[in-house]
Amino acid sequence: MDLDLNAPHSMGTTIIGVTYDGGVVLGADSRTSTGMYVANRASDKITQLTDNVYLCRSGSAADSQVVSDYVRYFLHQHTIQLGQPATVKVASNLIRLLSYNNKRMLETGMIVGGWDKYEGGQIYSVPLGGTLLEQPFAIGGSGSSYLYGFFDQEWKKGMSKDEAEKLVVKAVSLAIARDGASGGVVRTVIINSDGVTRNFYAGDTLPLWHEELEPVNSLLDMSSPEPMSS
Amino acid sequence: MAKAAIDVPPKGGFSFDLCRRNEMLLQKGVQPPSFRKTGTTIVGLVFQDGVILGADTRATEGPIVCDKNCEKIHYMAPNIYCCGAGTAADTEAVTDMVSSQLQLHRYATGRESRVITALTLLKSHLFSYQGHVSAALVLGGVDVTGPHLHTIYPHGSTDTLPFATMGSGSLAAMAMFESKYREGLTRDEGIKLVCEAICAGIFNDLGSGSNVDVCVITKGNREYLRNHQLPNPRTYVSSKGYSFVKGHTEVLSTKIAHLQLEEVEGDAMEE
């Protein structure tokens, strides 16, 4: 088993975007790996594009950071020129244009989610290759393979905000249990007409799934240093 | 292609003539030469008053230690320093380049440089070279917005962390940080933890060694503690001394081979 520290930084990842009645909930794990080593166990894969539109990133860390930086810059200019907040459709289209036109060089799959006054909460999926697809819910990253069946069964139209967030946290934690490239904590972002709420769920608050064991002699039990507060 | 009677000087730009030859050699099974990487342990952590960076001081050329006391903590700005791992030439060049760009920016704006400025300059340069500039950096500093610590990878991705390690010794150093780091460390506790992490790299990683360099950056002040710890003193020194005077070494046998020289007509140097 090679610990290739020179491998490009990639985010194995599980990313999810779900619409509910009134807005959207975005969720992601927090593991960034370099080969077999976890380079960052607490990364934030949900990045802000504008006040009302956020982006979930997966795949190559460098490529997705560069794309999100460019789109944030374009959207900022667009907002100034338009005189009002950018729509989610415009933001996801910009992501798609960069992804599609540079498809040979980029390796990143993204989910755009946000709320605007025209269409309400929307989720757009921009996978490898640069397709743009509006969906009521979207999943991405290596951990998403384990969630297709789960979402087919569990997703319902017209959920409330709390139901949607619980669903997202449950889904990410299921994926973390099965996918080696996903792990760490679960971060969620809820976007609706009232604004944006960021939440953080530490590993020990997540439920245990099949064959997962209770932590024994965990560092968190020891009387020593406080684990870090967010 | 006829052989030109007059030699035309090459136009600017990359000459692709050798690419076919390289491909042909690869097909024949010739291994391309690999470039030298430097093993390293570099770390950074955020403490209550600012940022502390640490590095070992060994530079390697393959299996040989070519510099026992090199400086891996590079100056970027009076309030920003950067540790570099990877190919030494790349880390030096990229940090010097961005340091100059930051100074020009300071002249243009009239303000103290910010850490995210250095971060953006470094990450865009590294991304545009798609990982071929092999520089893995730990960038730390204190600016008007507070203390910041970032890691930058050769492909151009960055992370913002409260404690970070990079280089071949990063696993050993990270083990120390994960067990002992907490928020709100004091200056002395922070320096002690950084030294412990670098020593873990020095003693457990073959690519890291020699001494520990530490750099403490706080608001309005920075202290570069060069060789803060020297855990590898030279323990054996020969009592006879190390001078070898001519005549002391015994000659066992002598063999002289004459070089074949050819007389060539015409001028020695023809332009």
- Residue A5: the pLDDT is 67
* Cβ neighbours of B127 in A, within 8 Å: 62, 66
Percent of chain A with pLDDT over 90: 80
Average confidence (pLDDT) over A103-122: 96
The answer to whether B208 contacts chain A (CB < 8 Å) is: no
C-beta atoms surrounding B229 within 10 Å = 18
Which one of B47, B150, B155 makes the best mutation probe of the A interface by having the most chain A beta carbons within 10 Å?
B155
For the cut 90, the answer to whether the pLDDT of residue B250 exceeds it is no
Q: On the CB side of A61, how many CA atoms lie within 13 Å of its CA? A: 31
- Residue A229: the pLDDT is 45
Token pair recorded at residue A66? 């560069």
Average confidence (pLDDT) over A27-45: 92
Name the burial class of residue A102, with classes exposed (0-12), middle (13-18) and buried (19+) by CB atoms within 10 angstroms of its CB. Answer: middle
- Residue A230: the pLDDT is 40
The answer to whether B153 contacts chain A (CB < 8 Å) is: yes
pLDDT tens digits, B45-59:
999 999 999 999 998
CA–CA separation, A139 vs A163, rounded Å? 17
- Residue B38: the pLDDT is 61
Minimal Cα–Cα distance from A84 to chain B, Å?
28
Comparing A6-15, B127-136, B183-192, B229-238, the range with the smallest average pLDDT is A6-15
Task: Choose the closest CB to B162 out of A32, A43, A228.
Answer: A228
* Cβ neighbours of A39 in B, within 8 Å: 151, 153, 159
Task: Choose the closest CB to B168 out of A5, A32, A34.
Answer: A5
For the cut 70, the answer to whether the pLDDT of residue A160 exceeds it is yes
Percent of chain A with pLDDT over 70: 90
CB contact under 8 A, A62 and B171: no
CB contact under 8 A, B156 and A66: yes
* Cβ neighbours of A229 in B, within 8 Å: 183
Interface predicted TM-score of the whole assembly (ipTM), two decimals: 0.84
- Residue B234: the pLDDT is 85
Average confidence (pLDDT) over B34-43: 75
pLDDT tens digits, A138-152:
999 999 999 999 999
- Residue B237: the pLDDT is 82
**Residue A220 pLDDT grade (very low, low, confident, very high; cuts 50, 70, 90):** low
pLDDT tens digits, B188-234:
999 999 999 999 999 999 889 899 999 999 999 999 999 999 998 88
**Residue B19 pLDDT grade (very low, low, confident, very high; cuts 50, 70, 90):** confident
**Residue A126 pLDDT grade (very low, low, confident, very high; cuts 50, 70, 90):** very high
CA–CA separation, B209 vs B56, rounded Å? 6
- Residue A57: the pLDDT is 96
- Residue B33: the pLDDT is 63
The answer to whether B159 contacts chain A (CB < 8 Å) is: yes
- Residue B249: the pLDDT is 81
For the cut 60, the answer to whether the pLDDT of residue B35 exceeds it is no
Average confidence (pLDDT) over A163-181: 95
Which one of B116, B149, B157, B176 makes the best mutation probe of the A interface by having the most chain A beta carbons within 10 Å?
B157
For the cut 50, the answer to whether the pLDDT of residue B84 exceeds it is yes
CA–CA separation, B41 vs B165, rounded Å? 7
Average confidence (pLDDT) over A24-46: 93
**Residue B34 pLDDT grade (very low, low, confident, very high; cuts 50, 70, 90):** low
- Bridge partners for B83 per DSSP: B73, B138
Core vs surface per residue A29-63: b (16+ CB within 10 A) or e: bbbbbbbeebbbbbbbbbbbbbebbbbbbbbbbbb
- Residue A219: the pLDDT is 63
| Residue A87, CA distances (Å) to A32, A62, A97 in order | 30, 26, 16
Q: Which of A13, A19, A47, A108 is catalytic?
A: A13
The answer to whether B210 contacts chain A (CB < 8 Å) is: no
Which residues, in sequence order, are CB contacts of A82 under 8 Å at separation 6+? none
For the cut 50, the answer to whether the pLDDT of residue A176 exceeds it is yes
Mean residue pLDDT across chain A: 91
CB contact under 8 A, A8 and B180: no
CB contact under 8 A, B157 and A62: yes
Decide if A92 contacts A132 (C-beta within 8 A): yes
Handedness of CA A57, A61, A65, A67 (dihedral sign): negative
For the cut 70, the answer to whether the pLDDT of residue A211 exceeds it is yes
- Residue A24: the pLDDT is 97
For the cut 50, the answer to whether the pLDDT of residue B170 exceeds it is yes
For the cut 80, the answer to whether the pLDDT of residue A37 exceeds it is yes
Token pair recorded at residue B130? 């798609």
For the cut 90, the answer to whether the pLDDT of residue B65 exceeds it is no
Comparing A59-63, A219-223, B24-28, B155-159, the range with the smallest average pLDDT is A219-223
